Chains A and B, each alone.
Chain A
């Protein structure tokens, strides 16, 4: 399959596909980070995670419309406002869902899975009723348009670069939140020993709600970032949910670094293969490899040997 290309062309192909892979990587990381908190730290399967992300995307879409109609002068910075709003919208919905649904099911993860699937169906239909079945896109401010030529053959789109930097910042933020902040410490304490954590004065219910809300909020930010590179439809969240869960499990559910490493591996493998095979076969092969490895090494790539 390589015979038709010269070396320099091959190099450029790999670089371009590598960059396409990096954008895919950013999307995966953004989606997986929220899930890594909710699933990895709390052990809750949230099948509606994609819909929380789409909520963020719709908030961004509304913001973009609002700014272009009422505040065109500030359109250049609408995205930052949208991101913050997306965080709070998805986070608030997350807190509500935790209160109404998840907290009754902490000891029944399989039931949580079914209930959140039901929630995802409801949200999808709600989006469809409110925003219509068609996909919507946001208009980008001018400074995000265009691309940056690296060589004759390689061009780097600026919105891609922006999303990647954003991903990096959010990942660092999540790291500090989970491993350096008081809430992160409390979350991990509650996960490891709920009774003890309660006994030393941690309000475990509040920690659960906050953690879930933050995980959903991050999904909202991810959705916001997602609008930079793609359009949003009611069922867009569903498309990625399986990949995202695989990424988190593949990385070793409790490891943030593992999540990022596995997102990187999967996105690079998929986008590199995509050039030579059809897109669907690239995806089949990637997912099949991941599932195969998970069958051989169910604890994922990064995990600790623990004393039972």
Chain B
């Protein structure tokens, strides 16, 4: 009974080993750098998906605005890289040398004040995590303290994603507009566009992802993780057990935002640009489907779900671009109606018994998955 306290059960250690092996060894060994870079891009979405496991799968808080935090993290990194690329020598043909090219095109003559601090790399690193977390804190505090949740929270976060996108596109001179911040070259003098740099960045990204998996797993195994599940189920009971419920929701939402932001920053580094098309309503809700395909409550599942959906997206859009939207739409419906426990559910039904036998585990895992096989109704509490 006390084994629920142990940080990782044998199954979870195996899960961690398998996912590490896959992204650190198998994938890099089996595909070329172009494909590996693409996989690295997908894996940056997995940061978002893991955050959603904590706040949606466990806490029942569905955010349809995770792209906002992904984007903020990505834009922070992009601003730093852009400034590094916009030295007076490199931009001497502009009418105002030393500022990013798109500002010059938009008749700006000096760097806006909020760009200034992004000359500093330490500041940028802090800002990547701190700004989105702070923003999430403000949204979370305003809404959870007033007990706004469920579909209202989903709609408001979606609106915020829409607002930020319109703002970024509208304020071309400050943000690069619809094209985003492009033509990023070096990080502290190191050319990020070479194949060797892409390899390095892939492994940095993979390492960070594993760190985030472990951190998420730690939260999930803590009492806070059980509290999140408890308040998704019976919020009032938690409140009337002496907990300030809003604080736990805010924490989960901020943590999810911080994870997303790290993913966003790594996206910018690996892909070489950041644009509003990763911020808005459509990417934000697509990120939810990665978590849903993985199985809502499963942190490992979120990684596999992200890889699978993106692999399918790339494959389909290359061969049958028209079918992809039908497929994606059907996927949304299927994970809700037919496979509410996603890949993790399939694993539990078909593979886990065999794995347990191999590992010599007698009983089913004690509290590996807090939920039963059925999706708890409270996971989608009535719109109240």
Measured CB to CB, the residues of B under 8 A from A are 56, 60, 62, 64, 139, 142-143, 146-148, 150-152, 154-156, 158-160, 162-163, 166-167, 169-170, 281, 285, 288-289, 292, 322, 325-326, 328-333, 335-337, 340, 375, 377, 379-383
Q: A105 with B336: in contact, given A121-B325, A287-B163 (CB under 8 Å)? A: yes
Let me know if A43 is at the binding interface, CB within 8 A. Answer: yes
How many A residues touch B, CB cutoff 8 Å?
Answer: 44
Q: Bound state CA distance, A113 and B163, in angstroms? A: 20
A287 touching B326 by the CB < 8 A rule?
A: no
Give the contacts of A70-116 with B (CB-CB under 8 A): 101, 104-105, 107-115
Let me know if A246 is at the binding interface, CB within 8 A. Answer: yes
The smallest C-beta distance from A110 to any residue of chain B, in angstroms, reads 4
Let me know if A145 is at the binding interface, CB within 8 A. Answer: no
The smallest C-beta distance from A161 to any residue of chain B, in angstroms, reads 30
Q: A246 with B159: in contact, given A45-B151, A122-B330, A298-B148 (CB under 8 Å)? A: yes
The smallest C-beta distance from A104 to any residue of chain B, in angstroms, reads 6
Most chain B Cβ neighbours within 10 Å, of A110, A238, A253, A287: A110
The smallest C-beta distance from B82 to any residue of chain A, in angstroms, reads 22
Q: Mark A237-281, 1 if CB is under 8 A from B, else 0.
A: 010001001100100010000000000000000000000001011
B170 touching A295 by the CB < 8 A rule?
A: no
Most chain A Cβ neighbours within 10 Å, of B60, B142, B292, B333: B333
B336 touching A125 by the CB < 8 A rule?
A: no
B329 touching A104 by the CB < 8 A rule?
A: no
* Contact with A284, one of B150, B151, B155, B170 (Cβ below 8 angstroms): B170
Q: Bound state CA distance, A113 and B170, in angstroms? A: 29
Chain A binding surface SS class:
helix
A295 touching B337 by the CB < 8 A rule?
A: no
A242 touching B281 by the CB < 8 A rule?
A: yes
* Contact with B156, one of A253, A284, A295 (Cβ below 8 angstroms): A295
Let me know if A141 is at the binding interface, CB within 8 A. Answer: no
B62 touching A291 by the CB < 8 A rule?
A: no
* Contact with A242, one of B146, B162, B382 (Cβ below 8 angstroms): B162
B156 touching A117 by the CB < 8 A rule?
A: no
* Contact with B336, one of A111, A283, A294 (Cβ below 8 angstroms): A111
